[in-house]
Structure 1
Amino acid sequence: MAARGRRPIPPKAGFGAKQEASDGVHASILKQARKSGQLNISGRSLTSVPETVWRINIDTPEEGKTVSMDDPDDRWWEQTDLTKLILASNWLTELSEDISNLPALTVLDVHDNRLERLPQALGTLQNLQRLDVSRNRLTEIPICVAKIQSLKSLHVEHNQLTSIPEDIGTLMFLEELEVSNNQLTALPASIGYLSKIVKLNVSNNKLVSIPAQLGSMNALKQFDATHNELTELPTEFGSLQSMEQLYLRHNRLLHLPVLKNCVNLKELHLGNNQISEITAAHVAHLPAISILDLRDNKLTALPEEMGNLESLERLDVTNNDLTGLPFRLGAITSLKSIVVDGNPMKSIRRDIVMRGTQEVKKYLRSRIEEPVTINNGTSNGVQSSKGQSGVIGGSGEGVNAHDVKQFKLLDYSNKQCKLIPEDVLKVAAEGEVTSVNLSKNCFTELPEGIMLVSDHLKELNLGFNRLPKLHPDIGLYFRLTFLDLRNNLLTDLPSDMSSLKELREIILSFNRFTKLPSVVYSLPKLEILFANDNKLGSIEADGINRLSCLATLDLQNNSIGQVPPELGNCTHIKSLQLSGNLFRIPSPAILAKGTNAILEHLRSRIVA
């Protein structure tokens, strides 16, 4: 801190301890400020700043008139000039021009007051680095502010500004500019001269455009223009090489320029605009993106190149016009959240969407066409032996060992096989896979050796096989949460399945069940049950009511002749599908109204 520099201004008459106290600032506070160089008198309901504050570097303190000069605790003549002054959360309507008496100030904080103007003397504070005048009643940034060449941080948010002066461009050392929540309709072109700006917040204004010169702000890392009236961004925006966070939500953007040089961009928030397209070119220049917010736009498709975003952690496409997602999204290991609510998804069943990100990713992965082939013992130059990174699993067909371990997924589907090679099972066991897909094969029984992966297995897909029955050993897969048995020849399930206490979803569609197996009613955590397209003749309402977690029940296209009214008491069911059966009540008109209407209608038919 700077040493005291006494100016030849005489003290004012009657300036003593009593007046200091009556001004709202006790002498002890001023005494401490002289030692530390910092004065905080915020939240004191002050309507004006006491003169003692403006003259703290000038006047001889009262203690200097009475205390011995030999007392080491009262060496007032060694006081430090004030460098930090906090006047926040008072009722100040103005600041005195006497602020020029505090030339050593590096921080001036007067936020949350009632200031309507700033003193011209601010321009003399050439050591000032931080100025906070936010939450006041200012209608302009005076020219004097542009004269503070040392300024690094300027907060003017929550005022009544209608413009920013061109002189703002002279603040060559400015690193942070906050002008949000004002009435700005434009930004000056000179803003591009602020080459050291790291953070710029212009949100909650009335901006209709951004000057192209903003593309010259080479140090800019965070730009927030949320809640404005922007219809487009200049192409120069793509030159912001340091940009890491870009907030553009709640504007009127019709398209996004290709951000060619924004290689460090980690967060891109484009929600609540009118953007209709994100192209492969957009995606190609976002290698570091981790958060991509595209919600509430007009997107009809996303490019397959989205699968190249290896750092993507969150994707929000809520309320668009998407009918599907790029399959390769499912292979992005860093992706922790996909939000797709409010889209007319046709290629992804709603029940999959309702189960969350991991289920969506699993489905997308299952749709990726694996271009894996083996020629003379190699695949793309990699040996297809039982190594850890090559293709294994028989001649002409196989799986990649590295992928099995990386994704904890064994996908041995669509092989038309009757058994699983030992080397495949060994790699799956070593990789502690949690998901196994054996669909579209020729299995007539639970494959031998599958117990090798039972310790960690949570998801098992045996759909599209030829199973006439399920081996009781299925009850040993205690960790199972998902079991797909669709398109087999099943007529019943083993009672041993009652041990599957973690099972949340079971798919029994397209089999030969004439009634729901009783063991189903003993699965305490079952949330989703698909039994459509069987030969079910009845519904056991009491059994279904015991499934207190059941939210989705699909019994479409069976031979159900009567729906018991007691089914209406199963209010925990959020999605009930009953069409394509023999019953006449509820009528098709009731069924068309949805689950709540069906359940209400059934309850109304219960005889007291």
Structure 2
Amino acid sequence: MATLGPDPRPHSQLASASIQSNISGNNLPPNRGLERALEEGANSGFLNLSARKLKEYPRTASNYDLSDTVEADLSRNRLAEVPLEVCHLVALEMLNLYHNCIKTIPDTIINLQSLTSLNLSRNQLCALPASLCGLPLRVLIASNNKLVCIPEAIGQLRSLMELDVSCNEITALPRHIGRLKALRELNVRRNLLCVLPEDLAELPLVKFDFSCNKVSTIPVCYRKMSQLQSLQLENNPLQSPPAQICIKGKVHVFKYLSIEACRSDKMPDSLYLPVMERLSLSRPTTVFLRTHKSLESVDPQFTMRRKMEQLREELELMEQLRDSIESRLKVALPEDLGSSLMDGVVLCHLANHIRPRSVVSIHVPSPAVPKLSMAKCRRNVENFLDACRKMGVPELCLPHHILEEKGMIKVSVTVQALVDETSTKQALFT
């Protein structure tokens, strides 16, 4: 039976037990989780020291063989500089230093000749060293720092595919940024940029974000960015293109730039003189005759004017097409009008709105199958054109004009003819 009272063991035994407890406590590592992370890093090649409130690189790391570390995550700590020990992990391919207090990057980072991805965002960097540009980087993220410029040596990063320097204090992009021939994504959001370099037009950019800057003009040559899919330009004092064009999206911006390019390519009329040839007749008299050439070869301005008129006409017809559909179906179509019509669903609904049940069967996407097959898209388009034909529409586009987005002008003419034809018939009956 248990009894309450003082421990029956002698005082000497209690003292020895206390001493033994203290000795065993001193043998325990101060941060078992940190030691475990170092041990796992040595075994797996992935060193995860994220969110451990580290102010310096762990001294106990020297007890582990981390020479084969491929990926290191030191994010969300309190590091004031890039640890020199990290700069000696020559096998490192990915380094994450996000959200620290780093103010400088040592030149010894050049040792990391396998490094392809570097995240320096949310630190206190005022400059990026030129030595950083000697690495085989494919991804460089340095957003949310205090950068005022990007080194000219950035052009040496020939393999760089993603560059993010958003939320800094950069006033101008370097001249040699046009040498980044592999660059796909460029984010310079929320800086102090006033001018965009024309060299960017030669890069294969897919995403470009220069929102929240001080840019007033988009260079006309940017119309050559044929691979660009995402363009973010809001919160800039843009004057060319004007705001009413910019808010309509990338397609309208590029059409505006194309029109401006035609205008800028014009030359004074005095430079375009008729081409004359000298023709010697039997008499000594020399007569000058105008060469029989097309008007375009005689007057290059004719071609430019015609191209500008075609672009304006296309822009107006596309807007007319959008307004005709949105006003009748009470929907808001996406920015890319062609892709929203290519499956034929919207066009079939338009035909049924004008004449109910004119298209009996419509293939529509579902949550399980969000995108229709090409066969179903073709059936929708053919059903729409059949309905137009039965309603007496005189001008019909071809199926591939809708399916391949290669004849949106003809699609616009067809839809407008459909609307006009039905409006005329309704007016006659009333």
**TM-score band, normalised by shorter chain:** 0.5 to 0.7
Deviation string 1:317-375 (CA, Å, 9 cap, x unpaired) is 11111111121112211011211111111222111111111111221222225769999
CA gap 1:301/1:122 in 2 versus in 1, 3 angstroms: closer
Identity %: 22
| Cα distance in 1 for residues equivalent to 2:216 and 2:34 | 59
Task: Report the equivalent of 1:455.
Answer: none
SS in 2 for 1:315: strand
Matched, 1:289 2:174: no
CA gap 1:246/1:394 in 2 versus in 1, 3 angstroms: same
- Contact kept, 8 Å, 2:34 with 2:49, in 1: the verdict is no
One-letter amino acid of the structure 1 residue matched with residue 319 of structure 2: F
Q: Which among 148, 168, 175 is matched to residue 70 of structure 2?
A: 175
Deviation, 1:285, is 2.5
Deviation, 1:211, is 1.3
| Cα distance in 2 for residues equivalent to 1:122 and 1:226 | 23
Deviation, 1:260, is 3.1
Q: Which among 296, 300, 322 is matched to residue 394 of structure 1?
A: 296
| Cα distance in 2 for residues equivalent to 1:349 and 1:179 | 45
Matched, 1:437 2:311: yes
Q: Which ranges in structure 1 are unaligned for 5 or more consecutive residues?
A: 1-92, 98-114, 132-147, 378-391, 400-410, 421-435, 440-458, 462-479, 484-499, 506-520, 528-608
| Cα distance in 2 for residues equivalent to 1:341 and 1:254 | 22
Deviation, 1:504, is 8.3
Q: Which among 414, 426, 429 is matched to residue 305 of structure 2?
A: 414
One-letter amino acid of the structure 1 residue matched with residue 318 of structure 2: T
CA gap 1:246/1:95 in 2 versus in 1, 3 angstroms: farther
Aligned length in residues:
283
Matched, 1:348 2:241: yes
| Cα distance in 1 for residues equivalent to 2:95 and 2:307 | 59
Q: Which among 283, 302, 324 is matched to residue 196 of structure 2?
A: 302
- Contact kept, 8 Å, 1:292 with 1:316, in 2: the verdict is yes
CA gap 1:522/1:298 in 2 versus in 1, 3 angstroms: same
CA gap 1:251/1:501 in 2 versus in 1, 3 angstroms: closer
Deviation, 1:232, is 0.7
- Contact kept, 8 Å, 1:225 with 1:249, in 2: the verdict is yes
Q: Which ranges in structure 2 are unaligned for 5 or more consecutive residues?
A: 1-24, 276-293, 334-430
Deviation, 1:300, is 0.7
| Cα distance in 1 for residues equivalent to 2:34 and 2:135 | 36
Q: Which among 332, 336, 353 is matched to residue 225 of structure 2?
A: 332
Q: TM-score, length-normalised on structure 1?
A: 0.41
SS in 1 for 2:201: helix
| Cα distance in 1 for residues equivalent to 2:254 and 2:26 | 59
| Cα distance in 2 for residues equivalent to 1:416 and 1:314 | 28
Deviation string 1:61-106 (CA, Å, 9 cap, x unpaired) is xxxxxxxxxxxxxxxxxxxxxxxxxxxxxxxx99978xxxxxxxxx
CA gap 1:151/1:352 in 2 versus in 1, 3 angstroms: same
Deviation string 1:212-237 (CA, Å, 9 cap, x unpaired) is 21123111111111111111111111
Mapping for residues 453-464 of structure 1, pairs under 5 Å? 459-460=314-315
Higher relative contact order (CA 8 A, sep 6+): 2
| Cα distance in 2 for residues equivalent to 1:366 and 1:95 | 77
Task: Report the equivalent of 2:150.
Answer: 256
| Cα distance in 2 for residues equivalent to 1:220 and 1:276 | 28
Task: Report the equivalent of 2:371.
Answer: none
Q: Which among 68, 84, 89 is matched to residue 189 of structure 1?
A: 84
CA gap 1:263/1:397 in 2 versus in 1, 3 angstroms: farther
- Contact kept, 8 Å, 1:413 with 1:438, in 2: the verdict is no
Deviation string 1:486-517 (CA, Å, 9 cap, x unpaired) is xxxxxxxxxxxxxx564589xxxxxxxxxxxx
One-letter amino acid of the structure 1 residue matched with residue 125 of structure 2: L
CA gap 1:524/1:414 in 2 versus in 1, 3 angstroms: farther
Task: Report the equivalent of 1:58.
Answer: none
Q: Which among 36, 55, 60 is matched to residue 162 of structure 1?
A: 55
CA gap 1:158/1:523 in 2 versus in 1, 3 angstroms: closer
| Cα distance in 2 for residues equivalent to 1:245 and 1:203 | 14
Q: Which among 129, 132, 140 is matched to residue 234 of structure 1?
A: 129
Matched, 1:210 2:84: no
Q: Which among 208, 212, 235 is matched to residue 315 of structure 1?
A: 208
Task: Report the equivalent of 2:364.
Answer: none
Matched, 1:222 2:117: yes
Higher fraction of helix: 2
